[in-house]
Amino acid sequence: MTGKMASVRRVAEKRLGSILETIDNVVWSISADTYETLYLNPAAERVYGRSAINFYEDPQLFLNIVHQEDRQWVTEVLPELIEKGSMTLQYRIVRPDGEIRWLEDRMAVARNAKGEPERFDGVATDITERMEHETQLNYLANHDALTDLPNRNLLDDRILQAIAQAHRGRHKFGLLLLDIDRFKNINDGYGHIFGDELLLTVAAQLHKSVRESDTVARLGGDEFVILLSPLNSHEEIYPVVRRLLNNFSLPFTIQGTELYSTISIGIAVFPADGNDMETLLKNADIAMYRTKEMGRNGFQFFEPDMSVHATERLELENALRRAIEREEFVIYYQPQTNVKSGKITSVEALIRWQHPKEGLLSPDRFLKIAEETGLIIPIGAWVLKTACTQAKAWQDAGMPSHRVSVNISAKQFWEGQLVKTVKRVLNETGLSAEDLELEITETVFLRDIDETIRTIHELRAMGIIVSMDDFGTGYSSLTYLRQLPIEKLKIDGSFIHDMTTTTRSSVLLTQIIQLAHAMKLEVVAEGVETEKEYNFLVENKCDVVQGFYFHKPLTPDEIGHLLENKQS
The residues spanned by each domain of the chain are 18-133, 145-313, 327-565
- The pLDDT of residue 380: 93
Quick one: DSSP state of residue 554?
B
> Cα–chain-centroid distance for residue 219?
7
- The pLDDT of residue 292: 87
> Cα–chain-centroid distance for residue 507?
39
In 3D, which of 95, 42, 106, 39 has the Cα closest to residue 66?
95
Between CA 320 and CA 371 the distance in angstroms is: 11
Are 18-133 and 145-313 in the same CATH fold? no
Give per-10-residue mean pLDDT for the chain (568 aa): 49 48 83 91 92 92 94 91 93 95 94 91 92 86 90 93 90 94 82 90 90 91 94 89 88 85 92 92 91 86 76 79 88 93 92 91 86 87 95 88 90 86 95 95 74 91 91 55 83 77 76 87 91 90 92 90 69
- The pLDDT of residue 226: 96
CA dihedral 375, 381, 386, 389 (to 10 degrees): -170
- The pLDDT of residue 22: 58
Angle, vertex CA 433, rays to CA 430 and CA 434, nearest 5: 125
In 3D, which of 85, 128, 70, 79 has the Cα closest to residue 104?
128
CB 509 within 8 A of CB 496: yes
For residue 378, give the 3-state DSSP assignment: helix
CB 180 within 8 A of CB 195: no
CB 292 within 8 A of CB 232: no
Describe the chain by its helix, strand, coil percentages, rounded to 5: 50, 25, 25
- The pLDDT of residue 314: 76
- The pLDDT of residue 316: 80
- Positive/negative CA dihedral, 45, 49, 53, 56: negative
CB 460 within 8 A of CB 499: no
Between CA 32 and CA 120 the distance in angstroms is: 6
Between CA 514 and CA 527 the distance in angstroms is: 20
Between CA 155 and CA 161 the distance in angstroms is: 10
Name the amino acid, one letter, at 219.
Answer: L
CATH of domain 18-133: 3.30.450.20
- The pLDDT of residue 133: 87
Q: Give the pTM.
A: 0.55
- DSSP code string of 334-376: EEEEETTT--EEEEEEEEEEEETTTEEE-GGGTHHHHHHHTTH
Select from 3.40.1360.10, 3.30.70.270, 3.20.20.80, 3.30.70.580 the CATH code of 145-313: 3.30.70.270
Name the amino acid, one letter, at 170.
Answer: R
CB 411 within 8 A of CB 371: yes
CATH of domain 327-565: 3.20.20.450
Between CA 82 and CA 84 the distance in angstroms is: 6
- The pLDDT of residue 480: 62
Between CA 233 and CA 223 the distance in angstroms is: 25
